[in-house]
C-alpha cells in the first residue's frame, strides 16, 4: 500500500450522505433480488417493489436488525409471508418479542425459519 501521509476528513453531513447512499444501494439490490426470485415482484411496478423494500427495511431496523444479511432475511420473509408477518405469525411474533435473545440470535432463528419452514415446506405463515 502506498502511504501518502494525506488524511481525508469528512464532515457530519458528508458521512450522513454516504450512509444514505449506501442504504439506498442496498435497498436497490434487495429489490433486484426480489425481482429475480419472485414472479409477483417481476409483475409489479419497480417503484412498488422499492417502496415495499424500504418500508420493510424500516420495520427490520425497529427490531434491531442492522447487517445486510439480517435485513435481507427479514425482507425475504416479509415478501413470502406478507408485510405484517412479524405481528401475524405467532412463532415469529414471539421470537421477536423475546427479551432473552439478542438480535443475532433472533436473526439466526429467522434465517432457520426461512430455510426450513418456508423454503422446504412451502409454508406461508400462521
| Whether the predicted model's global pTM rises above the 0.85 cut | no
Selected residue with higher pLDDT from 90 and 121? 90
Selected residue with higher pLDDT from 70 and 1? 70
Distance CA 70, CA 60 (A): 8
Q: Over the stretch 2-41, which tens digit does the pLDDT of each residue have? A: 677 788 888 888 777 777 888 889 999 999 999 999 888 9
Count of all residues that appear for the chain in the document: 126
Tell which residue, 22, 33, 107, has the closest CA to residue 73.
107
Task: Output the CA angle 39-69-116, nearest 5 degrees.
Answer: 65
Cell digits of residue 3: 502511504
Whether the per-residue pLDDT at 43 is higher than 90: the answer is yes
Burial, 20: exposed, middle or buried (Cβ in 10 Å; 0-12, 13-18, 19+)?
A: exposed
Distance CA 83, CA 76 (A): 10
Mean pLDDT across 100-121: 88
Selected residue with higher pLDDT from 84 and 11? 84
Selected residue with higher pLDDT from 106 and 22? 106
Whether the per-residue pLDDT at 57 is higher than 60: the answer is yes
Mean pLDDT across 39-48: 93
Amino acid at each position: 500500500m502506498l502511504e501518502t501521509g494525506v488524511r481525508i476528513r469528512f464532515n457530519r453531513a458528508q458521512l450522513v450522505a454516504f450512509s444514505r447512499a449506501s442504504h439506498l444501494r442496498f435497498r436497490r439490490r434487495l429489490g433486484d433480488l426480489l425481482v429475480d426470485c419472485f414472479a409477483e415482484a417481476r409483475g409489479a411496478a419497480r417503484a412498488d417493489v422499492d417502496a415495499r423494500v424500504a418500508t420493510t427495511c424500516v420495520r427490520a431496523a425497529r427490531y434491531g436488525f442492522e447487517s445486510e444479511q439480517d435485513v435481507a432475511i427479514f425482507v425475504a420473509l416479509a415478501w413470502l409471508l406478507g408485510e405484517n408477518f412479524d405481528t401475524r405469525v405467532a412463532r415469529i411474533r414471539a421470537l421477536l418479542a423475546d427479551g432473552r435473545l439478542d438480535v443475532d440470535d433472533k436473526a439466526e432463528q429467522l434465517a432457520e425459519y426461512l430455510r426450513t419452514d418456508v423454503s422446504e415446506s412451502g409454508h406461508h405463515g400462521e
